[in-house]
Protein backbone atom coordinates (compact mmCIF):
# COMPACT_ATOMS: atom_id res chain seq x y z
CA UNK A 1 0.00 0.00 0.00
CA UNK A 2 2.97 2.36 0.18
CA UNK A 3 2.16 3.39 3.72
CA UNK A 4 4.58 5.68 5.57
CA UNK A 5 7.09 4.10 7.90
CA UNK A 6 5.73 5.84 11.01
CA UNK A 7 4.89 2.44 12.52
CA UNK A 8 8.58 1.50 12.46
CA UNK A 9 10.31 4.71 13.63
CA UNK A 10 10.11 6.21 17.10
CA UNK A 11 10.42 9.94 17.77
CA UNK A 12 14.00 9.32 18.93
CA UNK A 13 14.77 7.56 15.65
CA UNK A 14 13.20 10.43 13.72
CA UNK A 15 15.40 12.82 15.69
CA UNK A 16 18.42 10.86 14.51
CA UNK A 17 17.23 11.31 10.94
CA UNK A 18 17.07 15.06 11.58
CA UNK A 19 20.68 15.05 12.76
CA UNK A 20 21.83 12.97 9.79
CA UNK A 21 19.93 15.16 7.33
CA UNK A 22 21.53 18.33 8.67
CA UNK A 23 24.99 16.87 8.25
CA UNK A 24 24.12 15.71 4.73
CA UNK A 25 22.97 19.25 3.89
CA UNK A 26 26.41 20.46 5.00
CA UNK A 27 27.96 17.84 2.71
CA UNK A 28 25.88 19.08 -0.23
CA UNK A 29 26.90 22.68 0.42
CA UNK A 30 30.53 21.58 0.46
CA UNK A 31 30.11 19.91 -2.94
CA UNK A 32 28.36 22.96 -4.41
CA UNK A 33 30.58 25.60 -2.81
CA UNK A 34 27.56 27.19 -1.12
CA UNK A 35 24.12 26.29 0.09
CA UNK A 36 20.87 27.56 1.56
CA UNK A 37 21.77 26.48 5.07
CA UNK A 38 19.44 28.79 7.00
CA UNK A 39 16.18 27.91 5.21
CA UNK A 40 17.10 24.22 4.84
CA UNK A 41 17.81 23.75 8.54
CA UNK A 42 14.56 25.42 9.62
CA UNK A 43 12.38 22.86 7.78
CA UNK A 44 14.14 19.58 8.53
CA UNK A 45 11.87 18.44 11.37
CA UNK A 46 8.82 19.15 9.21
CA UNK A 47 10.25 17.20 6.30
CA UNK A 48 11.21 14.24 8.49
CA UNK A 49 7.75 14.18 10.09
CA UNK A 50 6.12 14.29 6.65
CA UNK A 51 8.21 11.71 4.83
CA UNK A 52 8.70 9.22 7.65
CA UNK A 53 5.44 9.73 9.50
CA UNK A 54 2.69 10.94 7.20
CA UNK A 55 2.98 10.91 3.41
CA UNK A 56 1.44 7.91 1.68
CA UNK A 57 3.97 7.31 -1.09
CA UNK A 58 5.82 4.51 -2.87
CA UNK A 59 9.52 5.22 -3.42
CA UNK A 60 9.68 2.25 -5.80
CA UNK A 61 6.83 3.79 -7.82
CA UNK A 62 7.29 7.59 -7.71
CA UNK A 63 4.47 8.20 -10.18
CA UNK A 64 1.88 6.14 -8.29
CA UNK A 65 -1.39 7.96 -9.15
CA UNK A 66 -2.90 7.68 -5.66
CA UNK A 67 0.13 8.94 -3.75
CA UNK A 68 -0.03 11.95 -1.47
CA UNK A 69 1.54 15.00 -3.09
CA UNK A 70 4.19 17.22 -1.54
CA UNK A 71 5.14 20.62 -2.94
CA UNK A 72 8.11 22.56 -1.60
CA UNK A 73 7.09 26.15 -2.23
CA UNK A 74 10.41 27.39 -0.85
CA UNK A 75 12.34 25.34 -3.37
CA UNK A 76 15.70 26.74 -2.29
CA UNK A 77 15.47 24.45 0.77
CA UNK A 78 15.58 21.33 -1.44
CA UNK A 79 19.00 20.31 -0.14
CA UNK A 80 17.09 19.13 2.96
CA UNK A 81 14.67 17.05 0.85
CA UNK A 82 17.25 15.21 -1.26
CA UNK A 83 18.90 13.24 1.59
CA UNK A 84 15.47 12.07 2.74
CA UNK A 85 14.47 10.95 -0.76
CA UNK A 86 17.77 9.09 -1.07
CA UNK A 87 17.31 7.44 2.32
CA UNK A 88 13.83 6.27 1.32
CA UNK A 89 15.15 4.78 -1.91
CA UNK A 90 13.90 7.18 -4.58
CA UNK A 91 17.44 7.34 -5.97
CA UNK A 92 20.91 6.23 -4.95
CA UNK A 93 22.63 8.02 -2.08
CA UNK A 94 25.70 8.46 -4.29
CA UNK A 95 23.73 11.07 -6.25
CA UNK A 96 24.07 13.44 -3.29
CA UNK A 97 27.79 13.71 -3.96
CA UNK A 98 27.01 15.42 -7.30
CA UNK A 99 24.66 18.08 -5.89
CA UNK A 100 24.37 20.98 -8.41
CA UNK A 101 27.27 19.68 -10.52
CA UNK A 102 27.00 19.63 -14.31
CA UNK A 103 24.83 16.69 -15.32
CA UNK A 104 23.47 16.04 -11.84
CA UNK A 105 19.75 15.45 -11.37
CA UNK A 106 19.95 17.45 -8.12
CA UNK A 107 19.82 21.19 -8.69
CA UNK A 108 19.59 23.95 -6.10
CA UNK A 109 15.87 24.01 -6.93
CA UNK A 110 14.06 20.69 -7.46
CA UNK A 111 13.19 19.61 -10.99
CA UNK A 112 10.27 17.15 -11.25
CA UNK A 113 11.48 16.05 -14.68
CA UNK A 114 14.75 14.79 -13.22
CA UNK A 115 14.30 13.93 -9.55
CA UNK A 116 12.16 10.90 -8.60
CA UNK A 117 9.83 11.84 -5.76
CA UNK A 118 9.55 15.55 -6.65
CA UNK A 119 5.97 16.48 -7.55
CA UNK A 120 6.57 20.02 -8.80
CA UNK A 121 9.53 22.06 -10.03
CA UNK A 122 9.70 25.01 -7.69
CA UNK A 123 11.64 28.17 -8.32
CA UNK A 124 9.96 31.57 -8.15
CA UNK A 125 8.23 31.80 -4.79
CA UNK A 126 4.46 32.03 -4.36
CA UNK A 127 3.29 29.43 -6.89
CA UNK A 128 3.25 26.38 -4.68
CA UNK A 129 -0.14 26.75 -3.02
CA UNK A 130 -1.89 27.41 -6.34
CA UNK A 131 -0.27 24.32 -7.85
CA UNK A 132 -1.23 22.22 -4.85
CA UNK A 133 -4.83 23.37 -5.05
CA UNK A 134 -4.95 22.43 -8.72
CA UNK A 135 -3.66 18.97 -7.82
CA UNK A 136 -6.29 18.66 -5.09
CA UNK A 137 -9.06 19.57 -7.52
CA UNK A 138 -7.84 16.94 -9.96
CA UNK A 139 -7.61 14.29 -7.26
CA UNK A 140 -11.13 15.10 -6.10
CA UNK A 141 -12.46 14.67 -9.64
CA UNK A 142 -10.87 11.20 -9.63
CA UNK A 143 -12.44 10.52 -6.21
CA UNK A 144 -8.96 9.86 -4.80
CA UNK A 145 -8.40 10.19 -1.07
CA UNK A 146 -4.86 11.50 -1.53
CA UNK A 147 -3.67 14.52 0.44
CA UNK A 148 -1.76 17.51 -0.90
CA UNK A 149 0.82 19.19 1.33
CA UNK A 150 2.40 22.54 0.45
CA UNK A 151 5.33 23.84 2.51
CA UNK A 152 5.78 27.61 2.22
CA UNK A 153 8.17 30.13 3.73
CA UNK A 154 6.92 33.09 5.73
CA UNK A 155 8.63 35.45 3.30
CA UNK A 156 6.75 33.69 0.52
CA UNK A 157 3.49 34.96 2.01
CA UNK A 158 4.38 38.41 0.66
CA UNK A 159 3.23 37.11 -2.72
CA UNK A 160 -0.39 38.02 -3.43
CA UNK A 161 -0.91 34.78 -5.33
CA UNK A 162 -0.67 32.89 -2.03
CA UNK A 163 -3.69 34.71 -0.65
CA UNK A 164 -5.69 34.32 -3.87
CA UNK A 165 -5.04 30.59 -3.62
CA UNK A 166 -5.96 30.56 0.07
CA UNK A 167 -9.31 32.19 -0.66
CA UNK A 168 -10.02 29.77 -3.51
CA UNK A 169 -9.17 26.66 -1.47
CA UNK A 170 -11.56 27.68 1.30
CA UNK A 171 -14.30 28.57 -1.17
CA UNK A 172 -13.94 25.14 -2.79
CA UNK A 173 -13.88 23.39 0.61
CA UNK A 174 -10.66 21.55 -0.25
CA UNK A 175 -10.20 19.62 2.99
CA UNK A 176 -7.48 17.46 1.39
CA UNK A 177 -5.10 20.45 1.28
CA UNK A 178 -2.58 21.04 4.06
CA UNK A 179 -0.50 24.19 4.01
CA UNK A 180 2.54 24.49 6.25
CA UNK A 181 4.20 27.87 6.79
CA UNK A 182 7.81 27.85 7.93
CA UNK A 183 7.88 30.93 10.17
CA UNK A 184 11.63 31.34 10.59
CA UNK A 185 11.24 35.12 10.55
CA UNK A 186 14.02 35.87 8.04
CA UNK A 187 14.41 35.96 4.29
CA UNK A 188 17.16 36.79 1.84
CA UNK A 189 16.39 40.51 2.32
CA UNK A 190 16.38 40.50 6.12
CA UNK A 191 13.83 40.10 8.90
CA UNK A 192 10.37 39.38 7.50
CA UNK A 193 8.76 41.75 10.00
CA UNK A 194 10.87 44.61 8.63
CA UNK A 195 10.05 43.83 5.00
CA UNK A 196 6.31 43.24 5.34
CA UNK A 197 4.71 42.52 8.71
CA UNK A 198 2.00 39.89 8.25
CA UNK A 199 1.24 38.98 11.84
CA UNK A 200 -1.18 38.03 13.27
CA UNK A 201 -1.03 35.12 10.83
CA UNK A 202 -3.45 32.97 12.81
CA UNK A 203 -6.15 35.62 12.44
CA UNK A 204 -5.44 36.07 8.73
CA UNK A 205 -5.68 32.38 7.84
CA UNK A 206 -8.77 32.02 10.00
CA UNK A 207 -10.34 34.94 8.16
CA UNK A 208 -9.63 33.21 4.87
CA UNK A 209 -11.61 30.19 6.07
CA UNK A 210 -8.84 27.75 6.97
CA UNK A 211 -8.42 25.47 9.98
CA UNK A 212 -5.35 26.82 11.75
CA UNK A 213 -2.90 25.38 14.24
CA UNK A 214 0.23 27.17 15.43
CA UNK A 215 3.00 24.99 16.78
CA UNK A 216 6.73 24.57 17.30
CA UNK A 217 8.08 23.52 13.92
CA UNK A 218 11.01 21.69 15.54
CA UNK A 219 8.84 19.55 17.85
CA UNK A 220 8.52 16.19 16.12
CA UNK A 221 5.83 14.85 18.45
CA UNK A 222 3.69 17.95 17.97
CA UNK A 223 4.16 17.83 14.21
CA UNK A 224 3.19 14.16 14.00
CA UNK A 225 0.09 14.77 16.13
CA UNK A 226 -0.96 17.71 13.97
CA UNK A 227 -0.48 15.70 10.77
CA UNK A 228 -2.58 12.83 12.12
CA UNK A 229 -5.29 15.29 13.20
CA UNK A 230 -5.34 16.78 9.71
CA UNK A 231 -5.72 13.38 8.05
CA UNK A 232 -8.51 12.43 10.45
CA UNK A 233 -10.32 15.70 9.80
CA UNK A 234 -9.97 15.36 6.03
CA UNK A 235 -11.05 11.71 6.00
CA UNK A 236 -14.07 12.35 8.21
CA UNK A 237 -15.74 14.78 5.81
CA UNK A 238 -14.15 18.06 6.82
CA UNK A 239 -14.97 21.05 4.67
CA UNK A 240 -11.99 23.39 5.14
CA UNK A 241 -8.33 23.32 4.16
CA UNK A 242 -5.83 23.24 7.03
CA UNK A 243 -2.69 25.27 7.67
CA UNK A 244 0.02 24.62 10.24
CA UNK A 245 1.87 27.77 11.26
CA UNK A 246 5.24 26.41 12.33
CA UNK A 247 7.49 28.65 14.39
CA UNK A 248 11.09 27.76 13.58
CA UNK A 249 14.64 29.09 13.74
CA UNK A 250 16.61 29.65 10.55
CA UNK A 251 19.83 27.64 10.69
CA UNK A 252 18.47 25.54 13.55
CA UNK A 253 21.18 23.42 15.13
CA UNK A 254 24.23 25.54 14.30
CA UNK A 255 24.71 28.17 16.98
CA UNK A 256 26.66 30.70 14.93
CA UNK A 257 24.15 30.90 12.06
CA UNK A 258 20.83 30.53 13.89
CA UNK A 259 18.32 33.27 13.16
CA UNK A 260 20.62 35.17 10.80
CA UNK A 261 19.36 36.40 7.46
CA UNK A 262 22.99 36.59 6.33
CA UNK A 263 23.06 32.80 6.33
CA UNK A 264 20.22 32.44 3.85
CA UNK A 265 23.02 31.29 1.54
CA UNK A 266 26.54 30.53 2.68
CA UNK A 267 29.51 28.20 2.83
CA UNK A 268 31.45 26.79 5.76
CA UNK A 269 35.20 26.31 5.66
CA UNK A 270 36.68 23.16 7.22
CA UNK A 271 37.00 24.56 10.75
CA UNK A 272 33.50 26.06 10.76
CA UNK A 273 32.04 22.89 9.30
CA UNK A 274 33.60 20.84 12.08
CA UNK A 275 32.17 23.29 14.61
CA UNK A 276 28.74 23.08 12.94
CA UNK A 277 28.70 19.27 13.08
CA UNK A 278 29.67 19.41 16.74
CA UNK A 279 26.88 21.92 17.42
CA UNK A 280 24.31 19.72 15.70
CA UNK A 281 25.29 16.60 17.60
CA UNK A 282 25.60 18.40 20.94
CA UNK A 283 22.35 20.34 20.66
CA UNK A 284 20.20 17.36 19.80
CA UNK A 285 21.91 15.07 22.30
CA UNK A 286 21.10 17.66 24.97
CA UNK A 287 17.49 17.80 23.79
CA UNK A 288 17.18 14.02 24.11
CA UNK A 289 18.59 14.19 27.66
CA UNK A 290 16.05 16.85 28.64
CA UNK A 291 13.16 14.80 27.18
CA UNK A 292 14.33 11.69 29.01
pTM comes to: 0.94
Domain 9-291 fold is: Rossmann fold (3.40.50)
Instruction: Give the CA distances from residue 217 to residues 19, 36, 88, 141, 226, in Å, rounded to whole numbers and listed in that order.
Output: 15, 18, 22, 32, 11
CA pair distance 92, 256, nearest whole angstrom = 32
Per-domain residue ranges of the chain: 9-291
The tens place of each residue's pLDDT in the chain, 292 residues long, gives: 344 544 568 999 999 999 999 999 999 999 999 899 999 999 999 999 999 999 999 999 999 999 999 999 999 999 999 999 999 999 999 999 999 999 999 999 999 999 999 999 987 899 999 999 999 999 999 999 999 999 999 999 999 999 999 999 999 999 999 999 999 999 989 999 999 999 999 999 999 999 999 999 999 999 999 999 999 999 999 999 999 999 999 999 999 999 999 898 888 999 999 999 999 999 766 555 444 4
Q: How many helices (H) and strands (E) would you count in the chain?
A: 10, 7
Number of Cβ within 10 Å of residue 276's Cβ equals: 23
Amino acid sequence: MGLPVRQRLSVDELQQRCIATRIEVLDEAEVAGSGHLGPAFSVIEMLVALYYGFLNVRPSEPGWPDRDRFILGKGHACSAVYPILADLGYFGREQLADFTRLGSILGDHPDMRKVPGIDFSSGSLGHGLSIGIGMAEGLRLRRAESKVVVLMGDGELNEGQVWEAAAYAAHRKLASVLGIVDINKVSVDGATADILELEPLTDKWNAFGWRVERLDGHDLAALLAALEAFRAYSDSGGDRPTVLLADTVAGRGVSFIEGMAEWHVGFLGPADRQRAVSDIRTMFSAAETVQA
